[in-house]
Amino acid sequence: VKPYRLYHYWRSSCSWRVRWALEIKKLPVEYVHVNLLDDETDRPEHRARNPMGTLPVLETPWGALLTESLPILEWLEERYPSGVSLLPQNSDDRFHVRRLAELVNSGIQPIQNLTVLDRISFDPQIRKEWSQHFIRQGFVAYESLCASRSGRFSLGETLTLADLFLVPQVYNAIRFELDLSSFPVIERIWKNGLATPECLRAHPDRFAPQG
């Protein structure tokens, strides 16, 4: 079978979400690394794949180009419903999971994205403080919304879409040296997420450029 092709960047949290989902759904995939830091995402060939110039882009075996990680994950879930599901059964739980995913997707990640940081400052300290502020603010809300219903993962004991957003965001938080000690629930989910083989196979360390 012809594999999926994922255009991604090793440390992009949005890329990790999709790598992880592809692992969970056990789909064959060929990875194409696009270097964010070299502005490869701004090149015409990448803009042709994704007019927003962001990563990831998932190319299907039949040549469709899918962009935006949240709808990509929803699409994978709809297209491959058997096996492990990323969404719970009932609509209240599904709402809860989608709300948590959206909180990260639109309330945290875009505000600490590279393109935004580049408009703010090239001073590493200012970039760090900015990112810490918005990740902390989002994590306070995430922790409060998910605490009472969390278990090993954001909703109970089963991994969901929400965790696929949270864990890569925690990775960014650690890079920006955010103190996680006031987020015990998030820290627990981070550790449990990292303990799953699919998450590890999708982990940035596995995709770091050599040399």
17 vs 150 by CB, closer to ligand GSH: 17
Least Å distance between CB 132 and ligand GSH?
17
Nearest to 171 by CA among 189, 157, 154: 189
Complex with ligand GSH: residue 115 or 144, whichever CB lies closer = 115
Nearer of residues 40 and 187 to ligand GSH, judged by Cβ: 40
For 111, the 3-state DSSP assignment is: helix
CA distance linking residue 46 with residue 130, whole number of Å: 28
d(CA 100, CA 166): 8
103/166 Cα distance (integer angstroms): 9
Q: How far is the CB of 94 from ligand GSH (least distance, A)?
A: 19
Q: How far is the CB of 203 from ligand GSH (least distance, A)?
A: 15
Q: Are strands 65-67 and 29-33 parallel, antiparallel or unpaired?
A: unpaired
Least distance in angstroms from the C-beta of 49 to ligand GSH? 12
- Alpha-carbon span 25 to 136, nearest angstrom: 31
CA distance 65 to 2: 15
- Residue 113 CB, nearest distance to ligand GSH (Å)? 5
Q: Which is nearer to ligand GSH, 87 or 101 (CB)?
A: 101
Q: Which is nearer to ligand GSH, 142 or 185 (CB)?
A: 142
Following DSSP, what letter does each residue of 119-178 receive, concatenated?
Answer: HH-S-HHHHHHHHHHHHHHHHHHHHHHHGGGBSSSSSBTS--HHHHHHHHHHHHHHHTT-
Residues that bind ligand GSH (CB under 6 A): 12-14, 36, 41, 53-55, 68-70, 105, 113-115
Question: What's the min distance (Å) between Cβ of 114 and ligand GSH?
Answer: 5
Q: Of 140, 141, 142, nearest to 154 (Cα)?
A: 142
- In the complex with ligand GSH, the residue whose CB is nearer, 42 or 177, is 42
